[in-house]
Structure 1
Amino acid sequence: MAPFLFLFRFVCVSVWILLGLLTELAVFPALGRARRRRVVRGWSRGLMRLCGVRVRRMGVPVERGAVLWVANHVSWVDIFVLNSVRTTSFVAKSDIRRWPVIGLLVAWAGTLFIDRRHRHAVRDAGRQMRGCFDQGDAVGLFPEGTTTDGSDVLPFHAGLFDAAVQAGVPTQPVALRFLRRGRRAPELAFVGEQTLVANLWFLLSAWGVSVECDFLAPIPAADGLTRAELSRRTQAAIGEAVRGVAA
């Protein structure tokens, strides 16, 4: 049944992506900022349903006002999983922008791209992040800098935490756990030398896929942490939450 399920979902997802791109071109210019963000959130929810991914919200997300969401990074779907909860401007590597179709979609969702080859990349990204905070937006950050199989977290890069420190906004750690029929599903992670096509096959042909979004206690700006301290604290919180689920 897997090939038939993959084909059915692939067709549905392809049509949904086409509708999203057409919406960006034809409808977005006529919409205000708030309505655009509602469209992105609704579209992301639809994409996850068509991919067969159930998003399970746990904890209490900060849904109003400026906030930095810090999450572990498992797959290309992470951006859309979190956007289905609240429209979020993510900081991502510029390489993603060149991915076929997916690059267009994450750009449409308001992603802030960072090219680490440039000397001032972190400073420029921080400036964009502060601009989002000034408008009361959520900004998403994957500080590992790469994806993992979701069983643990890699050391966090602290540089971009400075934008939240300087803007005086809270930071909320988010632990993402990919499950299949209630058990850990490392095969769904987009890691290593795996191609996007191969990852799509695993995702779209699988039954019982869910992603637990565990929104942990926000860290208020009033705690006065440095960017390094904030990085270590969020890494410890997410790591504990990720490791806390039985394999």
Structure 2
Amino acid sequence: MIHTLRFALRAVACFVWVALGLLTIALVYWILGLQFRLWSKKYWSRVLLWICGIKVVIAGEPVSKGPLLIVPNHVSWLDIFVLNYVRATAFIAKSEIRSWAIVGWLAAGADTIFIERGSRHALSAVAKSMAEHLQRDQAVGLFPEGTTSEGFDVLPFYANLFEPARKAKVLVQPVAVKYFHQGQRSAYPAYVGDESLVMNMWRVFGTTGIRVEMVFLPAISTDQEKPLSRADLSKCAREAIRSALGVADHEADLNRL
């Protein structure tokens, strides 16, 4: 009963907040300057996470200014808002999201870069859009796993979309995203498999004690005497995130058994 009541209250509050966000995008977003749009995206994300009952903990040093490619592991639909909590970011998302009711409209209006997976032409268009954002000193967010996981390890990375950052010689900052539930590392908030978004929201909105820790790892320079390839960038970012998640330590423990 308490779970249902908590879910209902948060769902209604989220609906109202999302509706206000859509109205802002439709009526005034397009006339606002870039800096104000970035600020509003950050503020909107912070309020949404508060409504959802998500506590955010930040570790490390986020790169707060200048062009940047942010590369986190991907666990939940909450990840986008969690990263926007720190710095307003233009995320790359699969094109199917554009057609989702409400969520798709919000994503499209919030500067999301959509990609049609499996299309080489679409990859070129996304790379061009990424380059334009980076030239405006914006942060671009990329989930190189291409899908979500439970957050205890990192799936293989797709390296192709590291190329615009490499060509532009901008920093690449890996971010390790860890979720906790009731004080323990947990996959409880993870949005994986065939679970519907509504069912995931039912679980997340109805509980308490969800905390997400973002570990901002040292940024990788692409402006070196001997430039890294996109495969090297991808490998360095993935290894850094796995280390921050404790994957190497966990594997060592298993090998000793």
The CA deviation at 1:221 is 1.6
Residue number in structure 1 paired with 2:187: 186
Q: How do residues 23-42 of structure 1 correspond to structure 2 at under 5 angstroms?
A: 23-42=24-43
Find out whether 1:231 has 2:238 as its counterpart.
Answer: no
Distance 1:109 1:77 in 2: 15
The CA deviation at 1:119 is 2.7
Matched residue type, 1:131: E
* 8 A Cα contact 2:181 2:188, kept in partner: no
| Identity level (%) | 44
* 8 A Cα contact 1:178 1:211, kept in partner: yes
TM-score normalized with structure 2 length? 0.92
The CA deviation at 1:35 is 0.6
Residue number in structure 1 paired with 2:177: 176
Matched residue type, 1:234: A
Distance 1:29 1:147 in 2: 31
The CA deviation at 1:220 is 1.1
Q: Deviations over 1:196-234 (max 9, x none)?
A: 110001110110111111100001123421100000000
Residue number in structure 2 paired with 1:140: 141
Find out whether 1:100 has 2:101 as its counterpart.
Answer: yes
The CA deviation at 1:243 is 2.9
Equivalent pairs counted in the alignment come to: 246
TM-score normalized with structure 1 length? 0.96
Q: How do residues 66-215 of structure 1 correspond to structure 2 at under 5 angstroms?
A: 66-215=67-216
Matched residue type, 1:27: V
Q: Deviations over 1:115-148 (max 9, x none)?
A: 0242312221111111111000000000000010
- Gaps (5+ residues) in structure 2? 251-257
Find out whether 1:243 has 2:246 as its counterpart.
Answer: yes
Runs of 4+ in 1 over 6 A off after TM superposition: none
Residue number in structure 2 paired with 1:7: 8
Q: Deviations over 1:32-64 (max 9, x none)?
A: 111111111100100000011111111110010
* 1:189 match: secondary structure: coil
Distance 1:96 1:30 in 2: 25
